[in-house]
Amino acid sequence: MSGEVQAAAVLGGFSESEQQEDARGPVGAPRRRRLGLGDWLLPAYTIMAFVFLMIPIAYTFVFSFNDSIKSNISWRGFTFDNWLNVCNVEGGAVCEAFANSVIIGLVATVIATALGTAIAIALVRYRFRARSVISLLLFLPMATPEVVLGAGLAAQFLALGVPKDMTTIILAHTMFCISFVVVTVKARVSSLDPALEEAGRDLYGSPSQVFWRITFPLLTPGIIAAALLSFALSFDDFIITNFNSGSTSTFPKYIYISASRGIPAEANVVASAVFLFAIVLVVASQISRAARAKRLAKLD
């Protein structure tokens, strides 16, 4: 009887299991879930937000090739002259402002990173009076509007008779960058195991040797992240800089002054170059991280 059933199934062209697969899909296969509204709404929103954020960057990059004369508002034609002669327009004002921003950012970053790292280590590893008050005060520059900070610093410099120049800008930037450095490095210090430093001291290492050979290498990723954040904040700042710069021109300040007649194409060139440089750094960092992970995987 079973032979007749099998023969009938073969003559019919389908086995019993194939008939089941034809009716309900492959045996044991998961059912295909229907796509709901949330399945395509979130990706669509992400793409729209990304496009919205990239429009100003794309505009800046495209108009860096604009053959403009006095205004860079309307498109007049394509040219490479803006990239080749970026420092030869208006007496090199764009390059001078950019150089001032880089110098101010580097100096303020070095000072803020050194002081902020020391403060972060002290707040985490030591117990002293007014420790909680100092922690609270360090968060105030992050929560205070930049207009208030800029106006307050300007009033202090004016009361002390300090002339406003690049030095006052560096002091102002260092003041508000320290808070971000402390917060970033403090998180890294809190994650370190004190037993590692104790082991170094047990091996007769001096306090300086323990710090430079154990603590500092472990803190390096957090210090680098804090320094990059500090430089980005300093280079990009306009409000506090405008209150305390005097006649010194920085790149954000130059952009603001030039915006009334259309940002010069040379400024777009500098901005595009900075953006491309940042992209190269990010890609290189990701490639280096992937290569390091691949080497560690091979060792395992």
For the stretch 56-104, pLDDT in tens is 889 888 888 888 777 777 788 888 888 888 887 776 888 899 999 999 9
Q: What is the CATH number of domain 93-263?
A: 1.10.3720.10
Residue 85 is predicted with a pLDDT of 83
- Return the domain boundaries, the chain: 93-263
Q: How far is CA 288 from CA 143, 223, 266, in A?
A: 36, 19, 33
Residue 242 is predicted with a pLDDT of 92
Helices (H), ranges, the chain? 2-12, 16-24, 37-63, 81-84, 93-125, 131-143, 146-160, 166-190, 194-202, 207-210, 216-236, 239-244, 251-258, 265-299
Four-residue CA torsion sign, 255, 258, 264, 266: negative
Residue 173 is predicted with a pLDDT of 94
Residue segments in the chain with a per-residue pLDDT below the cut of 70: 1-38, 91, 261-262, 300
Place of tokens 């205070």: 144
Residue 38 is predicted with a pLDDT of 66
Phi, psi of 78 (to 5 degrees): -95, 140
Residue 300 is predicted with a pLDDT of 67
- Three-state DSSP at 69 gives coil
Buried b (16+ CB within 10 A) or exposed e, 5-38: eeeeeeeeeeeeeeeeeeeeeeeeeeeeeeeeee
CA 264 to the chain's CA centroid = 26
Contact between residue 68 and residue 269 where contact means Cβ atoms under 8 Å apart: no
Place of tokens 């796509």: 35
List 78's β-bridge partners, or say none.
66
**CA nearest 241: which of 141, 158, 146?**
146
Contact between residue 110 and residue 172 where contact means Cβ atoms under 8 Å apart: no
